[in-house]
């Protein structure tokens, strides 16, 4: 982003159209516009901000007002800093952190379904601030840390027994030695467990038996545990269980699976955003809200993962073709 370039939206509205005035004021606020004076709004110059303001300008004209979008430059560095200071989101982040602190007080008393609803609402609030934080600073860093800590606390309710990362050597294993085995993981599966169970069925063991454990302590001695502390396959270093399985069985050279692993990683422990992650999470959340059994959840989400694999594999082939 070139911080010395800006877009101005200059608008007027008939005084008797209070409803339209309020509607567009809310739209401007949602897009993070700074107010220079009444009827003059400012955004950093990006392709996205230009499209947003032009769309709003058309809407204002259609509602009986007048609006113009103007591309301007800061006169000097002092003015640039002044304009940039208008986009300081410290107060919004502090309000968000206060809300998190209040929510933490009641978190332990909520049911898993209530925790999931709370997480979706709080995530929406957090994303709303991040999306308009054009000039990140320490306030944003602190808010992100508070958010990650809150998510980790919620995970202890949603997924008791969530594995901790360990430092270990990932051995190369032969899929031929892992046929017809019993595989066990924690019940009420979420992203990493569902994706790992799918991977086992699809690429590792042609005839597996999947057990869903109420507690890792219930894992049979002859079963291969996955995605809990002490399991045969679990988090190692910065890899989630799905990625450890990929590496263990020589599947990490498959482009589609590697990209799928990035999505699972981002949803399970965070990291670089994968565009498809939000859609997968929404589908899985909806499936969970329908009260599916663990086996039904795996069957249904396996179809989604099959489609995502085809999508990622196709994209990988296209990118490879471009490099040749």
> According to the model, what pLDDT value does residue 1 have?
45
Q: What are the tokens at 43?
A: 């955004």
> According to the model, what pLDDT value does residue 2 have?
45
Distance CA 233, CA 235 (A): 7
End-to-end Cα spacing for the chain: 31
Distance CA 258, CA 270 (A): 16
> According to the model, what pLDDT value does residue 94 have?
95
Mean of the per-residue pLDDT values of the chain = 90
Give 197-239 pLDDT, tens digit per residue.
Answer: 999 999 999 999 999 998 898 999 999 999 998 899 999 999 9
> According to the model, what pLDDT value does residue 320 have?
64
DSSP code for 164: P
Domains in the chain (CATH in brackets) are 5-85 (3.30.70.240), 90-158 (no CATH), 175-323 (no CATH)
* Predicted model pTM: 0.56
> 305: exposed, middle or buried (C-beta count within 10 Å: 0-12, 13-18, 19+)?
buried
Can you list the residues of the chain whose pLDDT is less than 50? 1-2
Interacting residues of 228 by C-beta distance below 8 A, sequence separation 6+: 161, 162, 163, 185, 186, 213, 216, 219, 234
Q: What are the tokens at 165?
A: 């990362």
Reduced to 3 states (helix: H, G, I; strand: E, B; else coil), residue 282 is: helix
Distance CA 251, CA 231 (A): 20
Q: Which residues face 166 on adjacent strands?
A: 236
Give 62-93 pLDDT, tens digit per residue.
Answer: 998 999 999 999 999 999 999 999 999 999 99
Q: Rounded to the nearest 5°, which phi and psi values hold at 68?
A: -135, 140
> According to the model, what pLDDT value does residue 109 have?
86
Closest to 31 measured CA to CA, from 69, 76, 66 = 69
């Amino acid at each position: 982003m070139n911080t010395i370039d800006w877009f101005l939206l200059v608008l007027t509205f008939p005084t008797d159209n209070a409803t339209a005035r309020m509607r567009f004021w809310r739209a401007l606020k949602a897009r993070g516009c700074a107010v220079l004076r009444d009827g003059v709004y400012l955004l950093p110059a990006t392709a996205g901000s230009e499209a947003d303001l032009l769309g709003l300008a058309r809407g204002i004209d259609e509602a009986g007002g007048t609006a113009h979008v103007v591309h301007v430059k800061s006169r000097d560095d002092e003015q640039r800093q002044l304009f940039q200071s208008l986009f300081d989101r410290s107060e919004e982040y502090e309000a968000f952190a206060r809300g998190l602190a209040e929510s933490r007080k009641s978190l332990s008393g909520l049911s898993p379904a209530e925790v999931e609803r709370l997480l979706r609402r709080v995530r929406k609030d957090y994303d709303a601030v991040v999306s308009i934080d054009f000039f990140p600073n320490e306030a944003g860093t602190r808010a992100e840390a508070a958010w990650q800590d809150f998510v980790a606390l919620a995970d202890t309710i949603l997924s008791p027994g969530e594995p901790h990362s360990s430092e270990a050597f990932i051995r190369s294993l032969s899929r031929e030695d892992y046929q017809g085995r019993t595989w066990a993981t924690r019940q009420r599966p979420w992203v990493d467990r569902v994706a790992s169970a799918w991977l086992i069925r699809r690429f590792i063991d042609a005839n597996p038996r999947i057990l869903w454990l109420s507690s890792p302590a219930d894992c049979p001695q002859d079963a291969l545990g996955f995605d809990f502390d002490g399991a045969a396959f679990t988090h190692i270093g910065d890899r989630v269980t799905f990625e450890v399985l990929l590496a263990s069985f020589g599947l990490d050279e498959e482009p589609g699976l590697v990209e799928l692993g990035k999505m699972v990683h981002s949803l399970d422990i965070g990291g670089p955003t994968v565009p498809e992650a939000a859609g997968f999470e929404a589908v899985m959340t909806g499936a969970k809200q329908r009260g599916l059994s663990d086996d039904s959840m795996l069957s249904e989400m396996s179809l989604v993962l099959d489609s995502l694999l085809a999508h990622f594999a196709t994209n990988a082939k296209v990118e490879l073709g471009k490099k040749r």
